[in-house]
Structure 1
Amino acid sequence: MAATAMASSTDIRYGPEDPTLSKPWKGLIDGKTGYLYYWNPETNITQYERPIISLKASSAAPDKSLSSSVQKSSQGGHKANDDDDRYNRGSNSGSVKVASGTGSYQSARSRSDHLRDDLIVKASSGLGLFSSKVAESGLSADSYRRQHDITVTGDNVPQPFTSFEATGFPSEILREVYHAGFSTPTPIQAQSWPIALQGSDVVAIAKTGSGKTLGYLIPGFTHIKKRHNNPKLGPTVLVLSPTRELATQIQNETAKFGKSSKISCTCLYGGAPKGPQLRDLDRGVDVVVATPGRLNDILEMRRVSLRQVSYLVLDEADRMLDMGFEPQIRKIVKEVPTTRQTLMYTATWPKEVRRIAADLLVKPVQINIGNVDELAANKAITQYVEVLSPVEKHRRLEQILRSQEPGSKIIIFCSTKKMCDQLARNLTRQFDAAAIHGDKSQGERDHVLSQFRTGRSPVLVATDVAARGLDIKDIRVVINFDFPTGIEDYVHRIGRTGRAGATGVAFTFFCDKDAKHASDLVKVLNGANQCVPVEIRDLALCGNGMGKAKRQWGSGPSIRNGGHFGSYDSVYGGRGSNRYGAHRSRSPNRNLV
């Protein structure tokens, strides 16, 4: 594909200038997803990971060797599967750091021939060869951990697996991994896999979208094969999850990556008939994924035994405690043998989570991705906070929605179920919006999520039931119509976008009743290198209501970014005029939106 053809495509455009990018590589942006990838005009190779600059003379050597492998494998002529989430794979931590000029080299790929079976076979050997070259070049375990902001505490900590070949996983599992488009383990996978495989208890603290699900599932598959249990007598692996949505996603990942290993799984969650779930248990399953409430119901019915469970996972532990599930969790754990391996995954590390970890785990190895003591937002998300009066919010919301590309997936968060339904009704005719909250039946929620995933209802209006654990690909924009009740929920809400290497945008409407959150919000914005509106900074300093903010109600909403005020249309180059001057946003992510 010629440069002109690539640049002129309606779906592809050049990325922002990056002087740190090695020549002759150029950054490109997929217009449909917003994902950044890289193109070498000399070899006509594209790849989704930042090309690494060679430690010595030539940066092209590894590119050419792998490019050759890719180009040879491209001659099979198979068509790429458009439904494959090929943009949303790879190292999350590494992908986020692409913007700051680090990132890790992974397999080069031909854009038009991305996931062919013959490429998968070649990648199986090619990646291992390149990984060994990286190791030979002096990339030690400590260097890898520093590069990906990993800290590990505990006894007998093994080195991270920086390639899939180093894991020793069975070939059938590796085939599933390559077929899904993964090229290297994410940081949480790289460090948690060797620890889990040696039988240690694990506490893993990492943000959502970091690849933690496979971090515990694949060692769980290996554990199942070693135990040789009879699944009709009960599961070997039990995964507890806070929400129905997350539980079903874990079940889907289990089915996807455990299929070739003949791993059986069922999902137990409330709001759905018990009959099919009980029939699955009667037939026998290796893995049970469950929400605490429904699992307790079935335990009380004496329809499942947990006596064979020797691999217990608490996923989104902080969220389960937030939702009041601690009594149910403790009741379930009493049914599980004490001679078990326990893995706890959490996005935050408050005292409540520390306490239950101390009670349920034995000498765990703790893995931290990033700073555990600070609540941090994903730096791949551009955050805009707008100080508005309540009456301005509806008009501003419609402005933002109209400015988006048709079909862009957008989540709008509200604080109440009533407002959620009201907003969805008001927006449905013009924007194909749908609502999801705790009062919806499971059938209604499944239908709404299906419509949202497929793009038939690209605008989802939600309460915090969708803020954590909901993993939907290529969400471009998050809008906080109401500010959440705490800063942790703010971080988790906006974290629905900017996942696994994608860029994202979050808009937040801030009113006088939210003033108590101004100080925490400033810390999160500063920590993610975002611009802080003057009004929010003033509120954080004075700690008072809106009276002291430098804001005149009725003058129209404003955005503070790059040192200039302007309407949304002005900042993004739309048709609207800039009341405060002709300046455009100087945000480095402007072209990615």
Structure 2
Amino acid sequence: MGGGRWNNDRDGGRTNSEIDWTIPTSRDERLEVELFGNGNTGINFSKYEDIPVEATGDNIPPHITSFDEVKLTEIIKNSITLAGYDKPTPVQKYAIPIIIGRRDVMACAQTGSGKTAAFLVPILNQIYESGPRPPPANISGKRKHFPLGLVLAPTRELATQIYDEARKFAYRSRMRPAVVYGGSNIVDQMRELDRGCHLLVATPGRLVDMLGRGKIGLHNCRYLVLDEADRMLDMGFEPQIRRIVQEDTMPPTGERQTLMFSATFPKEIQILARDFLSNYIFLAVGRVGSTSENIFQKIVWVEEHDKRSYLLDLLQASNFSDPSAESLTLVFVETKKGADMLEEYLHQMGYPVTSIHGDRTQREREEALRRFRAGKAPILVATAVAARGLDIPHVKHVINFDLPGDVEEYVHRIGRTGRMGNLGLATSFFNSKNINLVRDLVSLLVEANQELPPWLDDMFSEARYSGGGSRRAGSTKGRFSGGFGARDYRQTPSSGSARNNGSSNRPGSYGGNYGNYGGNYNSSSYNSANNVSSNDPDWWDK
């Protein structure tokens, strides 16, 4: 982490006030190769140009079209160049000037759209310009740290990913990022904090632990980021977040700058999030490459006892023997036990497979992800822990072996493929256990110009006749209509939806010519098969 390059005092910011933090420190070629050696590969920048962005709120600063249009420190500009960022992505074009303008933000943007840099660049730039802050007066605790900024993330993997990105933008600076998360040795993490902590990336549970131990104080925290905010607020983290933000020493709403990012922002979560924001700007940012063009979604009827056989048929169409193919397959299951059992089965069948779930140690999870990314185990069986936030290039196929319980989780799962403007495929096994998804799934598929299996269309009709409203084709009021996964509820106060269960009387199987997808998937007819019109609303563009 280049420890020798930092002002390494134990109070995370007690540096000589005469030191100008905007002046870069000397180069460290070894660290430079470590941080930027691979450059910014895999991004199809041409796909960024036409992605729509909606910004709502008061006095919205104008967006930028290049990094030169905002005043950035030499440190940040140097890191942007080394990272290979040719031009700002849509979320960066809007978020960077808004954050530099000291405004709060709620942004609906997919992982893979450049949102991590969208908040790190302006936050760290402001930290460099402001310099260090002295620790609060009359605070006991010799080894207590007072970070200037805090980034909260729901999973260890996402926290580590953000930390790695922060290290890039901290290169040649005196600002030191640190990361703390559960499932790893807390003593080691506290020892790492003692080397300095100006920007802290944390999972909520471990941070609450650190606050309780008196290791961290939030008195000086002027920047708060909640990444994957809807997941943290919706999945049980709300009490911990309220403890961190409202019941400790963090500056109150309005004094600190608060930024929330996620791929979906349902109305209920937006209302909940108001408690943490002040006069915020809502951004709905397009995905890098639309689903209708870049992700081919296929829903197939597969009974529970046929799933393994059907999965083998799909995997046989992939070339896992060629390490240069850069073709990774991500298989989602619902339970930890299910992940272990499916991994063991695929291993016995001779497939190069690994798995990841919440009961694995941090070292096991990191090793599994490392092998998967490197193509040594190009099949990863995962529970939902891997669905959120992980930015893994070259995932060509996402398979929902078990569909999730709600369509928002489906959105995040299939978002692991078709990234950075490249092509992807998502296959989902559907049966009578998934009836509750019918209406939302049909709405999503239709508005994304995807093929709708006849049996699923029939189920949708039965669900509609059994009560409740319809969000069928042509509707502009659907949850995913108009190209965005969330709208600013302040602009659409009457929005909302209800789910309804349909009939469970289904055909025994779904056949057709799907088994031949491997031959047509990369063909020239691939994009035209969806009959996409450039004027159609695109659900992914959010």
Quick check: TM above 0.5?
A: yes
Q: 2:163 aligns with which of 232, 237, 251?
A: 251
Match of 1:281 in 2: 193
Distance 1:283 1:194 in 2: 32
> Secondary structure at the residue paired with 1:434?
strand
Give the percent of matched residue pairs that are identical in Structure 1 and Structure 2: 40
CA contact (8 A) 2:404 2:410 kept: yes
Distance 1:148 1:403 in 2: 32
Task: Report the alpha carbon displacement of residue 179 of structure 1 after superposing the two structures with TM.
Answer: 2.3
Q: Deviations for 1:421-449, whole angstroms, at most 9, x for unmatched residues?
A: 11000112411111111111112111111
- Please give the residue correspondences for 1:401-420 in structure 2 after superposition, counting only pairs within 5 Å: 401-406=315-320, 407=323, 408-420=327-339
Q: Deviations for 1:399-428, whole angstroms, at most 9, x for unmatched residues?
A: 111111224211100111111111000112
CA contact (8 A) 1:409 1:455 kept: yes
Q: Deviations for 1:97-126, whole angstroms, at most 9, x for unmatched residues?
A: xxxxxx53xxxxxxxxxxxxxxxxxxxxxx
Task: Report the alpha carbon displacement of residue 522 of structure 1 after superposing the two structures with TM.
Answer: 1.0
CA contact (8 A) 1:480 1:508 kept: yes
Query: Residues 470, 251 of structure 1: CA spacing in aligned structure 2 closer, same or farther, 3 A cutoff?
Result: same
Distance 1:259 1:417 in 2: 38
Of the structure 1 ranges 199-208 and 473-482, higher mean CA displacement relative to structure 2 is found in: 199-208
Match of 1:88 in 2: 43
Structure 2 residue identity aligned to 1:176:
S
CA contact (8 A) 1:242 1:292 kept: yes
Match of 1:396 in 2: 310
> Secondary structure at the residue paired with 2:451?
coil
Match of 2:224 in 1: 312
CA contact (8 A) 2:183 2:362 kept: yes
Structure 2 residue identity aligned to 1:568:
G
Query: Residues 399, 589 of structure 1: CA spacing in aligned structure 2 closer, same or farther, 3 A cutoff?
Result: farther
Match of 1:588 in 2: 527
Match of 2:132 in 1: 228
Match of 2:295 in 1: 381
Query: Residues 157, 425 of structure 1: CA spacing in aligned structure 2 closer, same or farther, 3 A cutoff?
Result: same
> Secondary structure at the residue paired with 1:431?
coil
Query: Residues 587, 356 of structure 1: CA spacing in aligned structure 2 closer, same or farther, 3 A cutoff?
Result: same
- Please give the residue correspondences for 1:506-525 in structure 2 after superposition, counting only pairs within 5 Å: 506-525=426-445
Task: Report the alpha carbon displacement of residue 535 of structure 1 after superposing the two structures with TM.
Answer: 1.0
> Secondary structure at the residue paired with 2:420?
coil
Distance 2:389 2:76 in 1: 24
Query: Residues 209, 416 of structure 1: CA spacing in aligned structure 2 closer, same or farther, 3 A cutoff?
Result: same
- Please give the residue correspondences for 1:17-28 in structure 2 after superposition, counting only pairs within 5 Å: none
CA contact (8 A) 2:90 2:286 kept: no
CA contact (8 A) 1:314 1:345 kept: yes
Q: Deviations for 1:27-85, whole angstroms, at most 9, x for unmatched residues?
A: xxxxxxxxxxxxxxxxxxxxxxxxxxxxxxxxxxxxxxxxxxxxxxxxxxxxxx99444
Task: Report the alpha carbon displacement of residue 213 of structure 1 after superposing the two structures with TM.
Answer: 0.5
1:530 and 2:450 matched: yes
CA contact (8 A) 1:238 1:311 kept: yes
Task: Report the alpha carbon displacement of residue 379 of structure 1 after superposing the two structures with TM.
Answer: 4.6
Structure 2 residue identity aligned to 1:566:
N
Distance 1:453 1:386 in 2: 28
Q: 1:568 aligns with which of 487, 509, 515?
A: 515
> Secondary structure at the residue paired with 1:178?
helix
> Secondary structure at the residue paired with 1:500?
helix
CA contact (8 A) 1:467 1:493 kept: yes
CA contact (8 A) 1:281 1:304 kept: no
Distance 1:507 1:233 in 2: 47
Structure 2 residue identity aligned to 1:346:
S
Q: 1:152 aligns with which of 52, 55, 66?
A: 55
1:365 and 2:281 matched: yes
Match of 1:173 in 2: 76
Task: Report the alpha carbon displacement of residue 354 of structure 1 after superposing the two structures with TM.
Answer: 1.7
CA contact (8 A) 1:378 1:498 kept: no
Q: 1:545 aligns with which of 500, 503, 510?
A: 503
Task: Report the alpha carbon displacement of residue 242 of structure 1 after superposing the two structures with TM.
Answer: 0.7
Distance 2:215 2:518 in 1: 59
Q: Deviations for 1:474-529, whole angstroms, at most 9, x for unmatched residues?
A: 11110000111111111110000111111110011111111221121111111221
Query: Residues 362, 423 of structure 1: CA spacing in aligned structure 2 closer, same or farther, 3 A cutoff?
Result: same
Structure 2 residue identity aligned to 1:501:
G
> Secondary structure at the residue paired with 2:216?
coil
CA contact (8 A) 2:145 2:193 kept: no
Q: 2:373 aligns with which of 453, 460, 464?
A: 453
CA contact (8 A) 1:206 1:368 kept: yes
Match of 2:473 in 1: none
Structure 2 residue identity aligned to 1:413:
F
Structure 1 residue identity aligned to 2:297:
Q
Query: Residues 223, 85 of structure 1: CA spacing in aligned structure 2 closer, same or farther, 3 A cutoff?
Result: closer
Of the structure 1 ranges 224-233 and 384-393, higher mean CA displacement relative to structure 2 is found in: 224-233
Distance 2:72 2:93 in 1: 13
1:478 and 2:382 matched: no
Task: Report the alpha carbon displacement of residue 178 of structure 1 after superposing the two structures with TM.
Answer: 2.4
Of the structure 1 ranges 446-455 and 351-360, higher mean CA displacement relative to structure 2 is found in: 351-360
Q: Deviations for 1:533-570, whole angstroms, at most 9, x for unmatched residues?
A: 111111111124342x4x344xxx52xxxxxx314236
CA contact (8 A) 1:571 1:585 kept: no
Distance 1:303 1:454 in 2: 36
Match of 1:328 in 2: 240
Query: Residues 82, 506 of structure 1: CA spacing in aligned structure 2 closer, same or farther, 3 A cutoff?
Result: farther
Structure 1 residue identity aligned to 2:278:
V
Structure 2 residue identity aligned to 1:155:
D
> Secondary structure at the residue paired with 1:461?
strand
> Secondary structure at the residue paired with 1:223?
helix
Match of 1:427 in 2: 346
Structure 2 residue identity aligned to 1:185:
P
Q: With a CA cutoff of 8 Å and minimum separation of 6, indicate the structure with the bigger relative contact order.
A: 2
Match of 1:116 in 2: none
- Please give the residue correspondences for 1:108-127 in structure 2 after superposition, counting only pairs within 5 Å: none
Match of 1:130 in 2: none
Query: Residues 570, 480 of structure 1: CA spacing in aligned structure 2 closer, same or farther, 3 A cutoff?
Result: closer
User: 4+ runs of 1 displaced by more than 4 Å?
Assistant: 230-233, 376-379
Distance 2:259 2:38 in 1: 32
Task: Report the alpha carbon displacement of residue 283 of structure 1 after superposing the two structures with TM.
Answer: 2.7
Distance 1:590 1:541 in 2: 25
Q: Deviations for 1:160-207, whole angstroms, at most 9, x for unmatched residues?
A: 111111122123322322222221111111001111001111111122
Task: Report the alpha carbon displacement of residue 330 of structure 1 after superposing the two structures with TM.
Answer: 0.5
1:444 and 2:364 matched: yes
CA contact (8 A) 1:481 1:509 kept: yes
1:199 and 2:102 matched: yes
1:298 and 2:210 matched: yes
Structural RMSD (CA): 2.4
Distance 2:278 2:131 in 1: 21
Please list every run of 5 or more consecutive structure 2 residues that lacks an aligned counterpart in the other structure.
1-35, 136-143, 464-501, 531-542
Distance 2:221 2:170 in 1: 18
Query: Residues 573, 495 of structure 1: CA spacing in aligned structure 2 closer, same or farther, 3 A cutoff?
Result: closer
Please list every run of 5 or more consecutive structure 1 residues that lacks an aligned counterpart in the other structure.
1-80, 96-102, 105-146, 559-564, 575-583
Q: Deviations for 1:368-398, whole angstroms, at most 9, x for unmatched residues?
A: 2259xxxx95752111111122222111101
Distance 1:210 1:287 in 2: 22
1:271 and 2:175 matched: no
Q: Deviations for 1:194-248, whole angstroms, at most 9, x for unmatched residues?
A: 1100111111112222111111101111121214225874110100011111000
Distance 1:541 1:446 in 2: 45
Distance 1:151 1:82 in 2: 35
CA contact (8 A) 2:292 2:450 kept: no
> Secondary structure at the residue paired with 1:530?
coil
Query: Residues 223, 89 of structure 1: CA spacing in aligned structure 2 closer, same or farther, 3 A cutoff?
Result: farther
